[in-house]
Amino acid sequence: MADEPRYRRILLKLSGEALAGEQGYGIDPAVIQGIAEEIRDVSLLGIEIALVIGGGNIFRGLAASSRGMDRASADYMGMLATVMNSLAMQDALEKLGVVTRVQSAIEMQEIAEPYIRRRAIRHLEKGRVVIFAAGTGNPYFTTDTAASLRAMEIGAEVILKATRVDGVYTADPRTNPGAIKFSSLTYLEVLEKGLQVMDATATSLCMDNRLPIVVFDLTERGNIRRVVMGEDIGTIVKG
């Protein structure tokens, strides 16, 4: 393991489900605390951390619209779910002494700052963890796309995409024992093979701007730190 971190400014993308734990819905306090502790440990290394958290543990627009709800309204509800997750993560981090700011893409000034790019960068420079809430602020997008967009805007060197498996496989390793793990992939391979990394909009955005994505297993303690320190775990997607 290298002594010097590989990355100085990262964007960590957590799915909403990552906060749900075994119950599969909502926010599990023990789970969110565990993730917050890992983020604190990485922050103490002097790494600048921005977070984007999904909302799938509470509400997904696409699922609701497939059951008859207007898509845009459903998506706005999904974005509000990400705000709840962001506030929960803020709370967990601040209890551990990590200074944070939540910036929302949909203005709600009583509970979060509005998203202001230059202010977000300033927070990062001061060592604060910045949590970007409400996705992109637009329906028909995902928080993966929000993560790619924000990562580019703040000049993050990488997106760390946290999942429950230790990288990208030829098939789902939980149901397919013969599935093979990729250690690295190009953006085009991800798009052409339809691999489950991020959706096509998010992947294309990263491809166009040469932003690497590291897919790794969040369920193993210490993995965020390992990736940041340059250990080759998970799968890296780059040009």
Binding site residues, ligand UDP, CB under 6 A: 15-17, 54-56, 60-62, 74-75, 78-79, 81-82, 135-136, 138-139, 141-146
Is 115 marked as a binding-site residue?
A: no
Q: Does 104 carry a binding-site annotation?
A: no
Residue closer to ligand UDP, measured from CB, 100 or 142: 142
Is 235 labeled as ligand-binding?
no
**136 among annotated binding-site residues:** yes
How far CA 64 is from CA of 27, 61, 76, 173, 231, in Å, comes to: 20, 5, 11, 28, 40
142 annotated ligand-binding residue: yes
Judged by beta carbon, residue 54 or residue 167, the one nearer ligand UDP is 54
Task: Report the nearest approach of ligand UDP to the CB of residue 205 (Å).
Answer: 12
| Choice between 78 and 234, CB closer to ligand UDP | 78
Task: Establish whether 60 is an annotated binding residue.
Answer: yes
- If the CB atoms of residues 81 and 129 are measured against ligand UDP, the closer one turns out to be 81
| Residue closest to ligand UDP when measured from CB atoms | 54
Smallest gap from Cβ 17 to ligand UDP, in A, equals 6
CB of 13 to ligand UDP, least distance (A): 7
**Binding site feature residues:** 13-16, 55-56, 60, 75, 136-143, 163, 169, 172
**Binding site feature residues for UMP:** 55, 75, 136-143
**Binding site feature residues for ATP:** 13-16, 56, 60, 163, 169, 172
